[in-house]
Chain A
Amino acid sequence: MRVRDSVVVVTGASSGIGRATALACASAGAAVVLAARRADALAEVARECEAAGGQALAVPTDVTDADAVQALARRAVERFGRIDAWVNCAAVTAFAPFLEIPLEEFRRIIDVDVMGYVHGARAALPYLRDQGKGVLINVSSVVAVVPQPYTHAYSMAKAAVRVLSASLRQELRLDGAKGVKVCTVMPPTIDTPFFDHTANYTGRKAKAMPPVYSAERVARTIVDLIRVPRREVMVGPMARNLLMQSKFAPGLAERMMGSQVDKMHLYRTKPAPATSGNLFEPAPGTGSVSGGWHGRRQTALRRVASTAALLTGGMVAARRWGR
């Protein structure tokens, strides 16, 4: 479907992937409905969206409140008449050894990352079904395929979300709602403020684990999915690699991911106090897309490097061939 003139609802729109998605949709000519907990941050995003050329409506929403999410859908339809795409994006996490994390924080993560998506899907699908057409996009993660240590709740939730999408796809197909599509997006590590806001009980500061991709890249994928819906999309070659690894050498992939996270996701030099992060209270400030992990620069560098490698390889091969 055309993104221009469509109505897109994005949860978790105050920062990171959600914010980038909202901006990308707005600049493609969509009307966007922005949902997150922080009203001031949302107002800022709404301004940016309008500057990018789309209409925007900010609806401060806590996705764990089912009624609030229903109200969000209602507001979207009252203001813009319909819902063409619903992007579930709001998520929180915690870094902690399993026995260290307070149980209520574990529950909270499941609540936001699973029930938040469930609430979103339950609010959106009646409208999409009535219209006979529409897309529900659930942002999952590669950790749904290859889980990580220290972020059990998050990995569980992301795996749950992937399965939720698949079940909904099946059910809608059986129900004859052919025009309603459900897609899962599985991004790898993304340069967002996520890691600064996170709850942490490891005693070590968290960082974005390389390779880091930019949130805009995920946003582009999501916009493409609204245009041409697909079942599941991995973002970036790294994610696809992980998927293949987990298929052909699952044990190895699991071990490698474990030690990599221990070494590279958490600083080995910077200690950090225990915190519940943004689990219960939103992070202060007006939010941003990037978390300062140089996702764009890193992507660019990787591209330059791989192009250079390819070129060199090509030249070497050409010379050999030429002889």
Chain B
Amino acid sequence: MSARLRAARYLVDFDSGVNAARAVGRYLRGKDHRGMSVGPSSRLLADLTSSLPTRVRRGTFSAMGVQQGIPLDRARRISADDIADWVTAQYPGGPYPVVMIGSASGAAVHLAAALRAPYLPQTTLAAVRELGTHPDDPRAAMEALAPTAQLVAQRNPEVAVHHMHDPAQDRPMLEGMAYLRLKRRLLGRTWERFLEERLAPGGTIVLVECTRTWRTRQVGERAYFQFGCLGGVSEEEYHDSGPRIADYLARERSPWRRWEPPETDARRPEAEWGFDPALRPDLERLAERCGYQLRRLVVEEPQDLSDFVADLHRWWYRRRGLPTERLLPQSYVQWDPLWAQRLGAVPFWLRFNMQPSFEDLQRYLHHADPYDEIYVNLFSQGLWSPGVVPVHHWRELAASAARVRGQVIGVDEDAYPLDAGSTMRYQPAFAALPPRHPLPAPLDVAEIDRFLQSTTASYRLTWSGPASA
């Protein structure tokens, strides 16, 4: 028990993996994902927070970073097994017909909820406090954290440690902490037991694999350093800088005008979203031994799953007699499968509030049958990072694509993207959209096959068929 609490302490509350487990766990208990399942949810509190002066709001983002990280001396207590145990503890008893495992993604979270499947995220974020190096000095950050990354890797042979350093979109957080993403390479006894005991006989394991890689540098055995991450800045720009970065650094009053990341030595799975295929053999063995089906859902970019899951929801709602004319784009970890289903809204997951996500939504709306209503919710990361799309663009996109009403909801437009209250505001914003519907009966895996057979749309993903035993 105490180990579980300790794991909860060093896991980061705004991490995608952690939120995936929390959101699906709470969904399976019939609860929503208000305040990222940890904080309060109140429009009043949110508005109060967002009405503070800009510098104070910026400060709250940084303070949150410091508060979320654990002191360096406790890094040796980080235990991948405790994390695995914490994840399984999110889910009620079972047995479940399906279990999903792999890369984190909001679309996958919605899919898991539709399948009533627990979701085991391969990657979770543990953060340590780091006040010693400047966010724009990646080399120093790598060298300073290498011993800690090595220590965690060495103590936890079942994971690889990806030290991720992104001064563009995570800047306020980086001022106070360093990101250590633990990527599970071996199934481990705890998850093996979970699958053996709580996945129903003959059940299905859905493996979500995002093949996105990134340039990285090895700093120890199973320990890597990644500079930058998927967001509004391209991989090349992170490594070669340029005028946009120089502008950004000047705006942030940084003593640097370009980033000088360390030499990289290989492309490896992207720290947050990428799938490390080292995990697959363990699952294949387990599936064969226990008579489970293993189905793989392979995408190149995490966002690639969004249009597929949105259309699948539409198809599923239609079969269950729910309305299908409402779209609810949710960004980063402000996903809430319970409210999406209650509102009869088709969820479209945006990886972030950046240009690439904007373009994806645009493309989707262009191809999809038009929606009557579109309500976009946006996550705030605390600064104008390069690539952030202003709110009015989102509003215009929603308004122009919707047949009846297109809005941005749950966002303080003046404060964005330093909208410190945004996590407290999204749930009341969803809840304020009548009418409500009873939850549809669960989707099953065979229905995914049927949907893919029936649709004429093409999706950028591979859905591997049932293994011919």
Interface of A with B (CB < 8 Å)?
174-176
The verdict on B267 contacting chain A, using a C-beta distance below 8 Å, is no
Chain A contacts of B73 at CB under 8 A? Answer: 174
The verdict on B285 contacting chain A, using a C-beta distance below 8 Å, is no
Chain A contacts of B76 at CB under 8 A? Answer: 175-176
CA distance A192 to B76 in the complex (A): 44
What's the least CB distance linking B446 to chain A, in Å? Answer: 46
Q: Which residue of A lies closest to B76 (CB)?
A: A175
Residues in B161-204 with C-beta less than 8 Å from chain A = none
Would you give the 0/1 interface string for B52-80, flagging 1 where the beta carbon is closer than 8 Å to chain A?
00000000000000000000010011000
What's the least CB distance linking A131 to chain B, in Å? Answer: 16
Show 4 A/B contacts (Cβ-Cβ < 8 Å), sorted by A. Answer: A174-B73, A175-B76, A176-B76, A176-B77
CA distance A174 to B77 in the complex (A): 10
What's the least CB distance linking A227 to chain B, in Å? Answer: 28
CA distance A176 to B77 in the complex (A): 8
Number of interface residues of B (CB under 8 A): 3
Could you tell me the dominant secondary structure of chain A's interface residues? loop
What's the least CB distance linking B36 to chain A, in Å? Answer: 30
Chain B contacts of A176 at CB under 8 A? Answer: 76-77
What's the least CB distance linking B108 to chain A, in Å? Answer: 35
CA distance A113 to B330 in the complex (A): 67
CA distance A110 to B214 in the complex (A): 51
CA distance A50 to B77 in the complex (A): 42
Q: Which residue of B lies closest to A174 (CB)?
A: B73
Q: Which 4 A-B pairs have the closest CB atoms?
A: A175-B76, A176-B77, A174-B73, A176-B76
CA distance A72 to B77 in the complex (A): 30
What's the least CB distance linking B7 to chain A, in Å? Answer: 14
CA distance A174 to B72 in the complex (A): 13
Interface of B with A (CB < 8 Å)?
73, 76-77
What's the least CB distance linking B35 to chain A, in Å? Answer: 32
CA distance A176 to B82 in the complex (A): 15
Q: Which residue of A lies closest to B77 (CB)?
A: A176
Chain A contacts of B77 at CB under 8 A? Answer: 176
What's the least CB distance linking B13 to chain A, in Å? Answer: 24
Chain B contacts of A175 at CB under 8 A? Answer: 76
Q: Which residue of B lies closest to A175 (CB)?
A: B76
What's the least CB distance linking B163 to chain A, in Å? Answer: 22
What's the least CB distance linking B343 to chain A, in Å? Answer: 47
CA distance A34 to B73 in the complex (A): 38
What's the least CB distance linking B251 to chain A, in Å? Answer: 43
What's the least CB distance linking B10 to chain A, in Å? Answer: 14
What's the least CB distance linking A122 to chain B, in Å? Answer: 16
CA distance A175 to B76 in the complex (A): 7
What's the least CB distance linking B457 to chain A, in Å? Answer: 53
CA distance A174 to B76 in the complex (A): 10
What's the least CB distance linking B411 to chain A, in Å? Answer: 44
CA distance A175 to B77 in the complex (A): 8
What's the least CB distance linking B296 to chain A, in Å? Answer: 36
What's the least CB distance linking A306 to chain B, in Å? Answer: 50
What's the least CB distance linking A173 to chain B, in Å? Answer: 13
What's the least CB distance linking B202 to chain A, in Å? Answer: 38
Chain B contacts of A174 at CB under 8 A? Answer: 73
CA distance A123 to B274 in the complex (A): 39
What's the least CB distance linking B139 to chain A, in Å? Answer: 30
What's the least CB distance linking B361 to chain A, in Å? Answer: 47
What's the least CB distance linking B76 to chain A, in Å? Answer: 6
What's the least CB distance linking A214 to chain B, in Å? Answer: 44
CA distance A174 to B71 in the complex (A): 14
What's the least CB distance linking B452 to chain A, in Å? Answer: 49
CA distance A176 to B3 in the complex (A): 12
What's the least CB distance linking B314 to chain A, in Å? Answer: 51
CA distance A175 to B79 in the complex (A): 13
What's the least CB distance linking B197 to chain A, in Å? Answer: 25
CA distance A174 to B73 in the complex (A): 9
Q: Which residue of B lies closest to A176 (CB)?
A: B77
CA distance A175 to B155 in the complex (A): 12
What's the least CB distance linking B66 to chain A, in Å? Answer: 23
What's the least CB distance linking A128 to chain B, in Å? Answer: 16
CA distance A176 to B6 in the complex (A): 13
What's the least CB distance linking A171 to chain B, in Å? Answer: 11
What's the least CB distance linking B82 to chain A, in Å? Answer: 12
What's the least CB distance linking B155 to chain A, in Å? Answer: 10
What's the least CB distance linking A127 to chain B, in Å? Answer: 16
What's the least CB distance linking A130 to chain B, in Å? Answer: 11
What's the least CB distance linking B349 to chain A, in Å? Answer: 39
CA distance A175 to B73 in the complex (A): 9
CA distance A176 to B78 in the complex (A): 12
What's the least CB distance linking A129 to chain B, in Å? Answer: 11
CA distance A277 to B111 in the complex (A): 78
What's the least CB distance linking B147 to chain A, in Å? Answer: 15
What's the least CB distance linking A112 to chain B, in Å? Answer: 31
What's the least CB distance linking A179 to chain B, in Å? Answer: 16
CA distance A175 to B74 in the complex (A): 9
CA distance A176 to B74 in the complex (A): 10
CA distance A176 to B75 in the complex (A): 12
CA distance A176 to B73 in the complex (A): 12
CA distance A194 to B73 in the complex (A): 44
Q: Which residue of A lies closest to B73 (CB)?
A: A174
What's the least CB distance linking A194 to chain B, in Å? Answer: 41
What's the least CB distance linking A240 to chain B, in Å? Answer: 37
What's the least CB distance linking B321 to chain A, in Å? Answer: 55
What's the least CB distance linking B104 to chain A, in Å? Answer: 29
CA distance A213 to B76 in the complex (A): 44
CA distance A223 to B76 in the complex (A): 33
What's the least CB distance linking A50 to chain B, in Å? Answer: 38
CA distance A109 to B76 in the complex (A): 36
CA distance A176 to B76 in the complex (A): 9
What's the least CB distance linking A70 to chain B, in Å? Answer: 18
What's the least CB distance linking A172 to chain B, in Å? Answer: 12
What's the least CB distance linking B292 to chain A, in Å? Answer: 32
What's the least CB distance linking B156 to chain A, in Å? Answer: 14
CA distance A292 to B85 in the complex (A): 61
What's the least CB distance linking B6 to chain A, in Å? Answer: 10
CA distance A239 to B77 in the complex (A): 40
CA distance A312 to B433 in the complex (A): 98
CA distance A15 to B76 in the complex (A): 41
